[in-house]
Amino acid sequence: MKKFILLPAALLTSGALAAPQISAQSIIVNPVQSDLAVRVWVNKDPAGNANPTYRIGEKITVSTTVNQDAYVYLFNVDARGEITQILPNRFSSGENFVKANTTKTFPAPGDNFTFDIDGPAGQNKVLAVASKTELNLDQITSFQGDASLATAKVSGQQNLAQALSIVVNPVPQNSWVTDTAFFSVADRAVSRTGRIFVGTNVSNAVVYLNNRQVGAANTTYLNLQPGTYRVKVAAPGYAPYITNVTVRADSTVNVNVQFTSTTTTTTPAPVANTARVTFRSNAEGARVFVDGREVGTIRGGALSVNLAKGSRDVTILAEGYRAFNTTYNVQNGGTITVNLTR
């Protein structure tokens, strides 16, 4: 059912056509068509016809435009019915006279403050009132001391509409118009994180995530944002173990490293019965380990070394690349070409 404000007789003039109309959606509407038009929107909904959601703590901007020079007044009504006068304000960009076909944004580009969403969660409305003549809002809001934003004297959408209807009633009815934008406020986003458990069979092992030392092995690392992580496990006397893992929200990735005697860096390589082997790689500076012992670094695309004949465990490591592991049978020498991947 449509509701209309009943105004004191002293405020009605013989030229008044109809009282401003109050509605649940638009708050206050001029029942008389005007050639003045105003539009208001929030940054998540430039079209101004949706109901976007903001979480508490998010930043928001409110914009308005008019088709004729006008004074524009912006009010936000939150889920509790509390009212914030957005425009005019005492910030440097707080003047509310808006030129035709220009956009006024709060906060304006270059302002040294932000407009942050506060609670409570629920439906919010931004009301824009545009008038060809300046309005007197003394009965609705007032500036207290040095406050930058005016304090509302009324609360609740109904009371705001009633107060505004009195303010605009003396104004020629074809010289003011309103528009309303909507947005919802939700509670703060809960960050969904994952975990990596790194286990090993040796003591004093150190764990690195994305090249940053994070602690000891046999530990679960919590609160990791979903994504790909480079995991490195280093232990004294052993070749480091490197792998890449993908962390997903609300799940744990297990990285279990079994260091063995064949992976120690102190195991001497046999000097007899050897063959010449050349390692080639696309990763300059890649380190080459044979049976856990580092035998050199690939420079200029290649590394040639003498290796004991027989089955050998080969590992090639390079910063930013996935570790390469294989078993190579050294007999008469040869070339191992490895294209490392990231």
Question: For residue 3, what are its two tokens?
Answer: 């509701």
Query: Does 220 share its domain with 322?
Result: no
Output the domain CATH number for residue 324.
2.60.40.10
CA distance 199 to 215: 12
Query: Does 246 share its domain with 282?
Result: no
Residues of the chain with confidence (pLDDT) below 70: 1-18, 189-191, 261-272
Query: Does 219 share its domain with 270?
Result: no
CA distance 279 to 299: 10
Query: Does 272 share its domain with 316?
Result: yes
Domain count, the chain: 3
258-294 tens-digit pLDDT: 887 655 544 333 344 778 889 999 988 888 888 878 8
192-220 tens-digit pLDDT: 889 999 988 888 889 999 989 899 988 88
CA distance 181 to 171: 24
Query: Does 240 share its domain with 218?
Result: yes
Output the domain CATH number for residue 18.
2.60.40.2550
pLDDT at 190: 67
Residue 56's contacts (CB-CB under 8 Å, 6 or more residues apart) are: 117, 118, 119, 121, 185, 186, 187, 188
Query: Does 20 share its domain with 119?
Result: yes
Q: Which domain holds residue 69?
A: 3-186
pLDDT at 113: 86
Question: For residue 246, what are its two tokens?
Answer: 């993908």
Query: Does 213 share its domain with 327?
Result: no
> How far from the centroid of its chain's Cα atoms is residue 249's Cα?
16
pLDDT at 172: 92
pLDDT at 187: 86
SS3 335: strand
Q: Is the pTM of this model over 0.75?
A: no
Residue 211's contacts (CB-CB under 8 Å, 6 or more residues apart) are: 230, 232, 319
